[in-house]
Copies of this chain bind each other. A is one copy, B any other.
Amino acid sequence: MTTTILDDLRAALGAKVATSAADLAAHGHDEGYPGTYAPDAVVYAESEADVLAVLAFARTHGVSVTPFAAGSSLEGSAICVRGGVSLDVTRMNRVLSIEPDDFLAVVEPGVTHRELSRLARRHGLFFSVDPGADASLGGMAATGASGTTSVRYGTMKHNVLEARVALLDGRMLDLGTRARKSSAGYDLLPLFVGSEGTLGVFTRLTVRLHPLPPSAASVRVIFPDVRRAVDATTALLGAGVAPQRLELVDAETVKAVNAYQGRDDPEVPTLWIEVVGRDDADVKASLDVVEDVCAESGGNVVGRALKESERAALWTVRHHAYYALRAAAPGHDVRIGDVCVPISALPNLVDEARRLLDEHALHAPMLGHVGDGNLHLLFHAAPSDDDAWARIDAVSDALARHAIASGGTCTGEHGVGIRKRKYLRAEHGDALDVMRDLKRLFDPHELLNPGKIFE
């Protein structure tokens, strides 16, 4: 951007425009993509009017715009590969209403899921999508995020009810409905959820809240191998207990956490299962079913937690996996692989991952939202170890293609960003051309988050 163009931006948005080295650097990377692509300017939007002013500026000057909030994306979705303006919406962080009778909240895109959860709790409600990082709701909607409880409550695609979207041409669209269902014409909302800011900019979201379960309990069950843990998962999903969480960690992960925390948990594949219910008796009865079902697949219960404090302790291994790995491999960068397959294809995916890791002499703990068929590999290497990163690329690439060939997807919840663009043809075939047609319809000059999703 030339100085003249920057002056125009300042004329429109005044002190909300920032160009300091620190501002540009902070918006040049996310938490998972290795490259840095700084914008030419950051605009800290405070309102929908500011968002529209930035889009008008982009139109007039042919400058690209990339929405940014918590910066917790993992695939480069929020960084400016072609410079331009980083449209920071973190100041649009008001929870506009919580409406308990309709089980929903209306928020600005910069609100984080933790903040919303905190406020919802006062009404006996919670926001169910928890991606781990304290992501913004706008960013989570943009990547179609999910997390540990999606097996019961669905992903952002199921929990965004309405979105107000600013289009590049200056129109504001109100998509979705507060009614629980509608058959009134084309459902445009799901097109925008997961579009990573390439079609428009969210200025407001209505999200679903769920009643806090009156009671919950967790159990940790070890299995001789991953295949049997997955058998148990399938049986659990059919058993009428509707788990709230159904998480798998592999032996490597348990080993890393044992070392990190001085524990001596059995270093074998382990399922973490959480059930909820009307009251403690209900939950205990569900746990009995869960344990019977797991036993039939060769599982052994090694921990049962009824109270909230016990539950927290039980979930330690699962929650600490990432930090344990970082501690086990000091100085290493971590890349989190994210593929998702039909549940029946998960054992083969895990076998294939193990085989690929061995073939490429790599070490990567695996964990997954197994109730969703979603597997994460925690790849890691020293930042300068080009050879290791090349091998990680090879494994990552083979796994994405294996997942697609198994009827699954190259990304279950992290989005496409930059790194996964090359798999979309294999995954979508001719539908990728239709996606490009839609992109062209909303953004004919490729100004909205250019270089993402499409190669």
Q: Which residues of B contact A435 (CB under 8 A)?
A: 185-186, 188
Question: Which of A175, A281, A342 gathers most chain B CB within 10 Å?
Answer: A342
Q: Say yes or no: A410 contacts B184, CB within 8 Å.
A: yes
A328 interface residue per 8 A CB criterion: no
Q: Which residues of B contact A431 (CB under 8 A)?
A: 173-175, 188
A129: min CB distance to chain B, Å: 11
- Residues facing B in A278-309 (CB within 8 A) are 278-279, 281-282, 285-286, 289
Given contacts A213-B240, A441-B437, contact A432 B181 (CB under 8 A): no
Q: Say yes or no: B188 contacts A191, CB within 8 Å.
A: yes
**Selected A-B contacts with CB under 8 Å, 9 pairs:** A99-B342, A146-B181, A177-B407, A181-B413, A184-B420, A185-B427, A185-B432, A240-B278, A438-B438
A316: min CB distance to chain B, Å: 26
Distance A154 CA – B144 CA, assembled complex (angstroms):
19
A430 interface residue per 8 A CB criterion: yes
Given contacts A238-B211, A430-B171, contact A411 B102 (CB under 8 A): no
A102: min CB distance to chain B, Å: 4
Residues of A within 8 A of B (CB): 99-104, 124-125, 143-146, 150-151, 154-155, 157-158, 171-175, 177-191, 193-195, 199, 211, 213-215, 234, 237-242, 276-279, 281-282, 285-286, 289, 340-344, 371-374, 403, 407-416, 420, 423-424, 427-432, 434-435, 437-438, 441, 453
Q: Say yes or no: A179 contacts B238, CB within 8 Å.
A: no
Distance A405 CA – B353 CA, assembled complex (angstroms):
53
Distance A194 CA – B189 CA, assembled complex (angstroms):
13
Q: Say yes or no: B183 contacts A144, CB within 8 Å.
A: yes
Given contacts A276-B240, A286-B278, contact A342 B179 (CB under 8 A): yes
Q: Say yes or no: B427 contacts A184, CB within 8 Å.
A: yes
Q: Say yes or no: A344 contacts B99, CB within 8 Å.
A: yes
A409 in complex: contacting residue of B184, B234, B238, CB < 8 Å: B184
